[in-house]
A = this chain, B = another copy of it.
Amino acid sequence: MKKVSLKDIADSLGVSKALVSLVLNGKGDERGINKNTQERVRVKAKELNYVPNQYARGLRVGRTDTIGVIVPDISNAFYGKLCKAIEQEAYRKGFNLIISNTYEDVQKEKKLITDLINRNIDGLILASSFDNKNELQGLKDNDVPLVLVDRVFEELDIDSVAVSNKEGAEKAVEFLYGLGVKNPVCFSISPVYISSISERIKGYLSAVKDVDKAKLFQIPHDRIQEGVNLALSELRGTDFDGIFCVNNSIAKAILKASSTQNDLFEHVKIVSFDDIEIFDLVNPKISSIAQPIDEIGTSAVSMLIDRMENKETHTIEKRILETTLIER
C-alpha cells in the first residue's frame, strides 16, 4: 500500500507531473491551464486520496511551515497557557508546532535546539534556561529566526517578548506595604540567572523600604517544597508579615505548607508573580501579578513570522508587556 504521488495522478490522467503540481497548488488559472483539465486533476487527486509529501516539498522549497517551541516545563500552568496561546496563533497562520521541554536542563536544551534545526524548522520560540548567552549566539549565527519569550538576554540582539518583571515585582511589594505590611520577604527560585527571576528580585530589592531587613530566600527549582518549608521554619517567630513569591510554583508550595501550619499565615500577606486559577480557590488569599499570557504568545508568533519573512532588514524588537495586579 504505497502512498499516492503526483506521478500516479499524472499517469492515470495522461498529463505531466508538472501540470498536476501546478493545479494542486492553485496556480492553474495563473498559468492558464484548461479549466476542464484542472477539474479532472482535482477530482482524481481526491479519488486517489492524494496527500502531498511534505518532505519532498520541504526539500524543494526550503520551507516547512513548522515552528519549534522550547519551554522549561509545559505542565507548569504558565507555560501550558503560553503554549496554548502560541499554538492557536500559529495554527491560525498555517504553522505547526514542535513543542519540547527542557526541565531546566541546559544540556537537553542544547540537544533540543540542534534537533529542531535538523528538522528544518522555519523558526524557534524559546524560553531558555541557558545561563550563558554564548549558547544563543551560536543559534543566532546559525541564522534560524528566533524569538525569546519570558526569559530574555539583555545583551544580545535577539527579538524577544517579556513582561516588565522589575516593575511588576515593585508593584507587588508596594501593594504589600499598602496593606500595612512592615517586613516583606522574598521567596525566589534558583537558578537566579534566569532574567525573569533576577528582574523580579531586583524589583523586590528596589521597592523594599528597609533594605537591611530585606530577606531573600533562594529555593532550588527541583526541590521547591523542601526549600519553602525550610525557609518558613526559619521565619517562624520573626516579625515578617508579608511574602512576595517570584512565581506560581513557589506560591503553590507555600499553600501546601500552609495546610499544616496555618497559624503562621494569620498575619502574613502574600502576593505572587503569575496569576493561576488556584488562587481563586484557596486560603490563605494570594494576590498576584498577572502576565498577559495570550498577548505574549500572540506577539511571539507574529514577531517570529515577521522575522522569517524579511530576515535582512527589520530591526531587533524587544517587546515589553505590562503586568496587572490582582488583589485578593
List A residues at the B interface (Cβ < 8 Å).
1, 49, 51-56, 58-59, 64, 66, 73-75, 77, 80-81, 83-84, 87-88, 91, 96-101, 114-120, 142-143, 252, 255-256, 259, 277-278, 280-283
Contacts and interface: CB of A to CB of B under 8 A. Distances in A.
A281 B282 contact: yes
Contact of A84 (B49, B73, B143): B73
B58 A55 contact: yes
A4 to B, nearest CB: 11
A155 to B, nearest CB: 23
Contacts of A114: 51
Q: Which 6 A-B pairs have the closest CB atoms?
A: A55-B58, A75-B80, A55-B59, A75-B84, A255-B281, A80-B80
This protein's copies in its complex: 2
A104 to B, nearest CB: 14
Contacts of A278: 278, 281-282
Contacts of A142: 49, 51
Contacts of A96: 98, 100, 115-116, 119
Contact of A281 (B54, B116, B120, B256): B256
A227 B312 CA distance: 52
